[in-house]
């Protein structure tokens, strides 16, 4: 063990760091400016085994949660846009397929999802149902042996390029179930891409279903319970995304503080700038420790719902502070698109929303103490 990490975990971190340095960082700005999904880079991440690393052997690598978040931090350090698409593929987009898909359909689809050849999305959110998924209106009706879905989804990550969708729909008054819908299915239309403030290279759009044939994944009514199975991991993973982008912001701020001269000395020699950097480093290290702590609890099969919520809450809010401090250190250049800091500041806000807003997390954490 080194710094609490095993040799295998150190190797995972090194491999993803090398990938980020070599292939991701050089393309990060173009991905943002082009508002484009980089399919080639996405499949290159697929070649590392990232999309299946959390699933058991032989289909996956059987990696632990801590190894996974080490990889996620490196991807997010490279580009939060790319990391957002990749984590969607490796967790929410593939979880229900891996758990429930059987026979020829599994054989045909799962290896393509794990290689990144087939992009996978998850459709939970609706125009009128965000934090409150129990109010969703998309309904599933049984037709013979199969099901047909009707409703409107929104904020579907990767929808413009996805081949398969996991869709949550209502099968009863208080019952949600999980379905597989494939692109090209009758009645499925992918709507306009949402023009976002950040993570612009992780494409997001609306999706309409009108009597669309769908395959039920798992038991009828198991939707919310199934979702709760991966909620903690989604939150720990989102915390790692936040740590990755915060680290990139701190590194840029330190570099700038050494180079930029004002009043006859590098600005890093002014105490005001040192205070920013000290606060940023402290936030970053604390956020990473919380994410690793929550990941280890998952690996040790200890209670982790509150811990994952706290890790995600702290890491995303800390990362926002770090990116904001970085923008202050760079001042006008932190406001210019010639530098990456303004992108970090736009991108990082995503980590406060995906996987549960800060307000919802705080409500959950408080409820954990009061019940
Ligand atoms: C970049 C991006 C990608 C996304 N990708 C996907 C995806 O792939 N699939 C998908 O299904 N969804 C996706 N989402 C949607 C995301 O999950 C939702 O945005 C999130 O659940 C919050 O819902 P909302 O935005 O509708 O906010 P709302 O739920 O409307 O919340 C609005 C405000 O009210 C607060 N609030 C709501 N309820 C409470 C309460 N009970 N107590 C206290 N405060 C409350 C919230 O915290 C927030 O401040 C994505 C979102 C973003 C930004």
Bridge pairing between strands 204-217 and 146-157: antiparallel
d(CA 195, CA 204): 8
Cross-strand pairs, 148: 141, 213
Q: Are residues 215 and 229 in the same domain?
A: no
Q: Name 43's bridge partners.
A: none
Render 107-145 in DSSP notation, one character per residue: HHHHHHHHHTSS-EEEE--BTTBSS-GGG---EEEEETT
pLDDT recorded at residue 371: 87
Q: Within this chain, do residues 342 and 359 fall inside the same structural domain, yes or no?
A: yes
Which residues surround ligand 1 with Cβ inside 6 Å?
88, 121-125, 130-131, 155-157, 199, 204, 350, 353-354, 357, 359-360, 363
Among protein residues, the one with the nearest Cα to ligand 1's atom 17 is: 354
Domains in the chain, number: 3
- Give the domain-ending residue among 89, 115, 141: 115
Q: How far is the CA of 355 from the centre of ligand 1 (A)?
A: 8
What's the CATH number where 31 sits? 1.10.540.10
CA distances for 317 relative to 42, 90, 314, angstroms: 28, 24, 5
Report the CATH number that the domain containing residue 360 is assigned in CATH: 1.20.140.10
Same domain as 230, residue 364: yes
* C-alpha of residue 131 to centroid of ligand 1, in Å: 5
Q: How far apart are CA 180 and CA 167, in angstroms?
A: 6
Domain assignment of residue 280, yes or no: yes
283 is a domain residue: yes
C-alpha pair distances (Å), 277 with each of 131, 262, 315, 344:
35, 17, 17, 16
Last-in-domain residue among 52, 86, 115: 115
Q: Are residues 293 and 217 in the same domain?
A: no
Backbone angles phi, psi at 118, to 5 degrees: -105, 120
Classify residue 1: in a domain, yes or no: no
Q: What's the CA-to-centroid distance between 327 and ligand 1, angstroms? A: 26
* Residue where one domain finishes, among candidates 115, 135, 161: 115
Instruction: Indicate whether 248 and 332 sit together in one domain.
Output: yes
The reply to whether 2 falls in a domain is no
191 and 127 in one domain?
A: yes
| Amino acid 7: pLDDT | 97
Q: Which residues contact 340 (CB under 8 A, 6 or more apart)?
A: 28, 29, 248, 252
Q: Rounded distance, CA 39 to CA 25, Å? A: 15
Please indicate, yes or no, if residue 75 is contained in any of the structural domains: yes
Q: Which one of 120, 130, 154, 198 would you pick to mutate in the ligand 1 pocket, going by the greatest count of ligand atoms within 8 A of its CB?
A: 130
Residue 137 is given by DSSP the state: -
- pLDDT at residue 193, as a whole number: 85
What end-to-end distance do the CA atoms of the chain give, in Å?
Answer: 38
| Residue 204, domain CATH | 2.40.110.10
pLDDT tens for the 371 residues of the chain, in order: 457 899 999 999 999 999 999 999 999 999 999 999 999 999 999 999 999 999 999 999 999 999 999 999 999 999 999 999 999 999 999 999 999 999 999 999 999 999 999 999 999 999 999 999 999 999 999 999 899 999 999 999 999 999 999 999 999 999 999 999 999 999 999 998 899 999 999 999 999 999 999 999 999 999 999 999 999 999 999 999 999 999 999 999 999 999 999 999 999 999 999 999 999 999 999 999 999 999 999 999 998 999 999 999 999 999 999 999 999 999 999 999 999 999 999 999 999 999 999 999 999 999 989 98
* Residues spanned by the domain of 152: 120-222
126 in a domain, yes or no?
A: yes
302 domain residue, yes or no: yes
Q: Which of 81, 124, 155 to mutate to test the pocket of ligand 1 (most atoms within 8 A of CB)?
A: 155
CB-based contact 118:39 (threshold 8 Å): no
pTM for the full model?
Answer: 0.97
**CA distances to 259, 340, 342 from 336, in Å:** 17, 8, 7
Ligand 1 mean position to 263 CA, how many Å? 46
Structure tokens at 233: 């991991």
Candidate of 89, 120, 125 to mutate for ligand 1, largest count of ligand atoms within 8 Å of Cβ: 125
Give, to the nearest 10 degrees, the angle between helix 223-259 and helix 341-348: 160
- The answer on 169 and 68 residing in a single domain is no
Q: How far apart are CA 238 and CA 198, in angstroms?
A: 15
Other CB atoms within 10 Å distance of the CB of residue 193: 15
Which burial class, exposed, middle or buried, applies to 102 when counting CB atoms under 10 A from its CB (0-12, 13-18, 19+)?
exposed
Tell me which of 353, 356, 363 to substitute to probe ligand 1's pocket, judged by most ligand atoms within 8 Å of the beta carbon: 353
Judge if 85 and 185 occupy the same domain: no
Verify that 235 and 342 share a domain, yes or no.
yes
DSSP conformation class of 260: -
d(CA 62, CA 40): 25
Q: Whose CA is nearest to atom 7 of ligand 1?
A: 156
Question: Rounded to whole angstroms, how far apart are CA atoms 292 and 280?
Answer: 18
Residue 189 and residue 149 share a domain = yes
Query: For 202, which DSSP code?
Result: S
R_g (Cα) of the chain, nearest Å: 21
Residues 210 and 235 in one domain: no
State the alpha helices, DSSP H only, in the chain.
7-19, 25-34, 39-47, 65-78, 80-90, 92-100, 103-115, 223-259, 271-299, 305-330, 341-348, 358-370
Q: For residue 115, how far is its CA from the centre of ligand 1 (angstroms)?
A: 29
Residue 22 CA to residue 49 CA, distance in Å, equals 17
* pLDDT value of residue 2: 55
- Is 170 inside a domain boundary? yes
Distance CA 63, CA 225 (A): 24
Closest residue CA from atom 38 of ligand 1: 131
Residues 247 and 345 in one domain: yes
Ligand 1 atom nearest residue 129's Cα = 26
């Amino acid at each position: 063990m080194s710094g609490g990490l095993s040799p295998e975990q150190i190797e995972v971190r090194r491999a993803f760091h090398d990938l980020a340095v070599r292939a991701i960082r050089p393309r990060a700005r173009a991905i943002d400016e082009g508002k484009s999904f980089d399919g080639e880079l996405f499949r290159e991440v697929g070649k590392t085994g990232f999309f299946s690393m959390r699933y058991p052997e032989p289909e996956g690598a059987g990696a632990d949660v801590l190894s996974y978040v080490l990889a996620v931090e490196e991807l997010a350090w490279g580009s939060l846009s790319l990391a957002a698409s990749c984590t969607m593929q490796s967790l929410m987009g593939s979880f229900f397929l891996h758990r429930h898909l059987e026979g020829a359909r599994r054989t045909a689809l799962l290896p393509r999802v794990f290689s990144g050849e087939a992009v996978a999305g998850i459709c939970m959110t609706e125009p009128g149902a965000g934090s409150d998924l129990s109010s969703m209106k998309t309904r599933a009706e049984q037709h013979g042996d199969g099901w047909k879905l009707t409703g409107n989804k929104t904020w579907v990550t990767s929808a413009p390029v996805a081949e398969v969708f996991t869709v949550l729909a209502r099968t009863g008054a208080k019952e949600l179930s999980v379905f597989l819908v494939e692109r090209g299915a009758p009645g499925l239309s992918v709507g306009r891409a949402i023009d976002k403030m950040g993570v612009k290279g992780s494409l997001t759009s609306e999706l309409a279903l009108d009597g669309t044939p769908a395959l039920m994944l798992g038991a009828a009514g198991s939707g919310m319970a199934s979702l709760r199975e991966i909620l903690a991991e989604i939150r720990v993973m989102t915390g790692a995304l936040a740590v990755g982008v915060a680290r990139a912001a701190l590194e840029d701020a330190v570099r700038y503080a050494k180079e930029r001269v004002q009043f006859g000395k590098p600005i890093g020699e002014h105490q005001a700038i040192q205070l920013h950097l000290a606060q940023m480093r402290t936030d970053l290290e604390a956020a990473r420790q919380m994410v690793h702590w929550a990941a280890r609890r998952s690996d040790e099969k200890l209670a982790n719902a509150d811990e994952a919520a706290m890790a995600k809450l702290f890491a995303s809010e800390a990362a926002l502070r770090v990116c904001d401090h970085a923008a202050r250190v760079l001042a006008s250049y932190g406001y210019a698109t010639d530098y990456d800091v303004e992108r970090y500041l736009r991108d990082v806000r995503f980590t406060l929303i995906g996987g549960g807003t800060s307000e919802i997390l705080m409500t959950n954490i408080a409820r954990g103490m009061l019940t």
